[in-house]
Amino acid sequence: MSAVLLIAVPLLAAFISILNKKLAPVLLLLVSLFNIVSIFFYSLGTITIGGFEAPYGISLVLDNYSLIGLIVINIAFFLVLLISYEKVKKVATVLLVALAGLNGLLLTGDLFNLFVFIEVSGIAAYLISTTNKKYVATFNYLVIGTVGSSFYLLGLIILYAMVGTLNMSDMALRISSEGISAANLSLPFLFMFIGLGVEAKLLPFNSWVKGILGNSNKLVGPMIASVYAGTISLVFGRILTSVFVVSDRLGLILTVILLVGIVAGETMAFASTKLREILLYSSIAQASLVIILFLEGITGWAVMMVIANVISKLVLFAIASYTSDELKTDEVDNLKGIFSKNKIIGVAFTIASLSVSGLPLFMGFVVKMNVLTSIFDGEDYLLAAVILLTSIVEGVYFVRVLIKLWYNKEDAKTINYNFVIKYIVSVLAVLLIVFGTYTTVLNDQVETVNEVFEIGGNE
């Protein structure tokens, strides 16, 4: 079986589902489940599409890096579907297209193909976000997303003109063999960075995030913040490590943007009072952090951080969006004490937020410690200081939220969480604890990921 099925089957199902609206959600679930199961049967390697050999044709790459990504993203996608099943019914077709697009992003080995899949998943994302019913925000997202992908395309065109190929590994080879200087490459790479950065929520390209995630319902929230964010981060990571050649000036600009992004994200979260806003600004900061780790070359642990974030943000956004859907408000002061009546949800939320802040026993702590070790090994003291200082701010606002949500003076509002969400978030929370204590699993995966980039093309 070829990994192409991961993309082809959802697309096919999307077309079929247009015919029968009633069957669409069921089809969606089945296809998603099929995706997950089939991953374990594929063999690693490059897959050429349509018989045209690389570098002339499009190729899909299934190596350890994409394998991990595929497993995590598909499972997360499926869980989000389960949690938000009622909302899914309206946009089932779009979700199938999104599934295809996400898988394509992770699998592709061709830069133009990447653009296509960015557009595909992007359009799907815009359509999914209409379920929020905040149309101005969706429009904003649409415009910015298009601007972003246009920049990516522009950069890609310049690059093609310079190097003459669109295949990722081929491009890496040609750049190093033809000796094109990094300074010449910095403009196209910057454009491509901007393009990806829009979707990856990097400051200052991310004005859409507040509108979309700030008013998210339980479908949009976890989908965009967890599934999409994880995918884009992994894609970004692959490009940064295997294709990009970063000149000093470009490196300086990128590092400044990313550091400012981290600081800005945390301070904005500190200044917010609505639960979803706090979470989305925290996501911005985490996204910038992950990209800077890829930039520094700490690939393996950056991947682990992405996975940890996918799990935690899924839990956090699911709970936050569900709550605001039911209670029509997400001011933290109005939500005081809801956890005292819903202990399972509360515990899961607590575990996820403590994992993001990096408290011991949880996966986030293990990841953070190893990341810091690598950073110190690279003697980058400023970055470490920034990370630690912003972590203090992060911890403070999370604890503030937790205390308010657990303790209340007057009667708390009552809210009923259905069985599905309770089950899913508890399993994910337990997963965070498991990965936090049995770190050998993580260490092994980090090794395999790092090997991918040592053998293949690198800067």
Lookup: tokens for 151: 């920049």
Shortest distance in whole angstroms from residue 429 CB to other proteins:
16
Nearer to other proteins, 333 or 454 (CB): 333
Q: Which amino acid is at 310?
A: V
Nearer to other proteins, 365 or 453 (CB): 365
Shortest distance in whole angstroms from residue 361 CB to other proteins:
7
Nearer to other proteins, 206 or 283 (CB): 206
DSSP state for residue 98 in the 8-state scheme: H
Distance between CA atoms of residues 354 and 352, nearest Å: 6
Shortest distance in whole angstroms from residue 239 CB to other proteins:
18
Shortest distance in whole angstroms from residue 340 CB to other proteins:
7
Shortest distance in whole angstroms from residue 82 CB to other proteins:
29
Contact residues for other proteins, defined by CB under 8 A: 136-137, 140, 143-144, 147, 151, 186-187, 190-191, 194, 198, 203-207, 209-211, 249-250, 253, 257, 263-264, 267-272, 281, 340, 354, 359-361, 365, 369, 372-373, 376-377, 379, 384-385, 388-389, 391-393, 395-396, 399-400, 403-404, 406-407, 437-440
Nearer to other proteins, 242 or 355 (CB): 355
Nearer to other proteins, 16 or 393 (CB): 393
Q: Give the start-end residues of each E strand in 143-286.
A: none
User: What is the DSSP code string of 270-305?
Assistant: HT--BHHHHHHHHHHHHHHHHHHHHHHT-HHHHHHH
Phi, psi of 162, rounded to the nearest 5 degrees: -75, -45
Nearer to other proteins, 44 or 385 (CB): 385
Torsion from C-alpha of 225, 459, 104, 48, nearest 10 degrees: -170
Shortest distance in whole angstroms from residue 283 CB to other proteins:
13
List all residues 6 or more positions away from 435 whose beta carbon is below 8 Å from its beta carbon.
308, 363, 366, 441, 442
Distance between CA atoms of residues 423 and 440, nearest Å: 26
List all residues 6 or more positions away from 157 whose beta carbon is below 8 Å from its beta carbon.
none
Q: Which amino acid is at 281?
A: Y
Nearer to other proteins, 67 or 359 (CB): 359
CB 420 within 8 Å of CB 344: no
Distance between CA atoms of residues 74 and 104, nearest Å: 12
Shortest distance in whole angstroms from residue 90 CB to other proteins:
24
Lookup: tokens for 243: 């294709």
Nearer to other proteins, 16 or 253 (CB): 253
